[in-house]
Amino acid sequence: MEMMMPERLADRRIPAGDDFLSRDEIDAITPERLIARMQALKPLVAERAAAAEKERRPDDDVWAALRKSGYFYLYVPRRFGGLEYDPDTYISATLPIAEACPSTGWTACFAAEHNWLIAQMPEATQAEVWGRTPYVVAPSAASPPGIATPVDGGFRLSGRWKWGTVVMHADWIMLNALEPVEGGPPVVRMMLLRAEEVTVLDTWRMAGMAATGSNDILVEDVFIPEAYQFAVQPVRSGRGNGRAVHGPGLYGSPMLPNLCVTAAIPALGAARQAVQLCRERLGQHVKLGSMSTSVEKPAGQMRLARADLLARSAERTIRAAARENLLLGEIDEPEQTTERIRLRAEIAIAVQQCVEAVRTCCEAVGSSVHALDNPMQRLLRDVQVMQSHIVYDLDVATELHGRALVGLPPNSLLL
């Protein structure tokens, strides 16, 4: 009888928790200083990008530098010691990291944004969590959902989740689970637990986004107190604890457009960096048989221009969507769902533009971009995998928007 070999465990880096900033250090941060710090980190992130891809997780030195920078305090509410910055600052602070390594940018921006989800927990839980760790580094894994069985004082949680972005350097874990309801549909709940309570399996082997380390998460019958979870449905429309505790605006905005913006920033970073690298390469590249560099050729100029315009258009769309989502929580249903669907589709098209920009740049500058020591090929592979995220499936996004335009109800639960 053939014996099943146990699955290999991921080599995690659970933070020691001894490197949080002092109150004075946090108070000294301004949006301009934070963005400047991220720009100063860009060379280190770029230098370690290939190694991070090989290790299949963010580079430890890069992650330590991010922790020291104050970046992860971005979406922690001020009343709990954070920065509570606006989405434009969040985007601007993330872009330098995403330009240097889209995979690292993806992991970092989700780690920062997931503090927004902590703000949806009960108020006492927020105080406990941010009192223990001034910011949270945690995946928020949703698929496939686990099972939350109600018990006295809370739930028993079990399941195995894929796509555990942030799990390799996490101190907390957030997981979606279904609470069975007799005679009705299950209730979707977000569960919060400590990183030590889960098993992380070494499963992340991907052609792109390898450095995110988004490994599988296994939980076997762990108790979750009632106060360490929330029902997802109210948060989808910005009507959860975030609004009740912190008011309208950032924490009272709908959940899915926030996710869409977050996941779009690394793709935008890849597009912007591809344009920069293409501009530099065109001045050196000479096609076989040609007598002049590609920068002198109209075809090269047009490709570069098209890629630049695609990236600029995408950035305007993503920033506008982030600002607009701050106001969507004030719109009642069913109109709000229609607006959320539209924002999702707009951001999905912006991500498509980012992918097209990177591809156009790669096509402009010859075969050498596909050498493994050329960062362009990593940008291309990373952004193509990012594009496959379910929120950017153009068929789904545009079908939903089209149904809304003709007065039909949505046919998806991802709203």
CATH number for the domain harbouring residue 39: 1.10.540.10
Residue at which a domain ends, from 198, 230, 262: 230
Residues 380 and 257 in one domain: yes
Q: pLDDT category, 2, cuts 50, 70, 90?
A: low
Q: pLDDT category, 207, cuts 50, 70, 90?
A: very high
| Residue count (the chain) | 415
Kindly report the CATH number assigned to the domain that includes residue 273. Answer: 1.20.140.10
- Residue 105 one-letter amino acid: G
Instruction: Tell whether the model's pLDDT for residue 232 goes beyond 90.
Output: yes
Residue 23's nearest CA partner among 65, 73, 64, 66 is: 73
Alpha-carbon span 98 to 100, nearest angstrom:
5
SS (H, E, C) 206-256: CCCCHHHCCCEEEEEEEEEEHHHEEEHHHHHCCCCHHHHHHCCCHHHCCHH
Instruction: Tell whether the model's pLDDT for residue 328 goes beyond 50.
Output: yes
Residues 392 and 273 in one domain: yes
Residue 87's nearest CA partner among 251, 330, 270, 212 is: 251
Instruction: Please state the domain count of the chain.
Output: 3
Q: pLDDT category, 282, cuts 50, 70, 90?
A: confident
Residues 75 and 217 in one domain: no
Contacts of 238 (CB under 8 A, 6+ apart): 248, 252, 253, 254, 255, 328, 329
Q: What's the pLDDT score for residue 1?
A: 46
Residue at which a domain ends, from 196, 230, 264: 230
Q: What's the pLDDT score for residue 298?
A: 76
Task: Domain of residue 350: give its range.
Answer: 253-405
Q: Residue 6 gets which letter from DSSP?
A: P
Residue at which a domain ends, from 77, 105, 132: 132
Q: What's the pLDDT score for residue 213?
A: 98
Structure-token match 């950017």, residue found: 392
Residues 189 and 332 in one domain: no
Residues 29 and 122 in one domain: yes
Query: Within a domain: residue 386?
Result: yes
Structure-token match 């792109």, residue found: 208
Mean pLDDT, residues 255-270 taken together: 97
Instruction: Tell whether the model's pLDDT for residue 122 goes beyond 50.
Output: yes
Using DSSP, state whether 66 is helix, strand or coil: helix
Instruction: Tell whether the model's pLDDT for residue 385 goes beyond 60.
Output: yes
Residues 83 and 39 in one domain: yes
* Cα radius of gyration (the chain): 22
Residues 261 and 350 in one domain: yes
| Each residue's pLDDT tens digit, 182-203 | 999 999 999 999 999 999 999 9
Q: What's the pLDDT score for residue 3?
A: 55
Q: pLDDT category, 260, cuts 50, 70, 90?
A: very high
Mean pLDDT, residues 86-109 taken together: 98
Q: What's the pLDDT score for residue 414?
A: 84
Residues 220 and 265 in one domain: no
Using DSSP, state whether 366 is helix, strand or coil: coil
What is the four-CA torsion angle of 249, 250, 256, 259, rounded to 10 degrees?
160
Residues 72 and 89 in one domain: yes
Q: What is the pTM of this model?
A: 0.95
Q: Are strands 140-151 and 216-225 parallel, antiparallel or unpaired?
A: unpaired
Residues 42 and 87 in one domain: yes
Residue 208's φ and ψ, nearest 5 degrees, are -140, 165
| Each residue's pLDDT tens digit, 342-367 | 999 999 999 999 999 999 999 988 88
Residues 222 and 351 in one domain: no
Mean pLDDT, residues 88-97 taken together: 98
Query: Within a domain: residue 266?
Result: yes
Query: Within a domain: residue 237?
Result: no
Query: Within a domain: residue 216?
Result: yes
| Each residue's pLDDT tens digit, 29-61 | 999 999 999 999 999 999 999 999 999 999 999
E strand residue ranges, 237-356 = none
Kindly report the CATH number assigned to the domain that includes residue 217. Answer: 2.40.110.10
Query: Within a domain: residue 18?
Result: no
Instruction: Tell whether the model's pLDDT for residue 294 goes beyond 70.
Output: no
Mean pLDDT, residues 105-113 taken together: 98
Mean pLDDT, residues 248-263 taken together: 97
Query: Within a domain: residue 59?
Result: yes
Query: Within a domain: residue 145?
Result: yes
Residues 154 and 263 in one domain: no
Query: Within a domain: residue 7?
Result: no
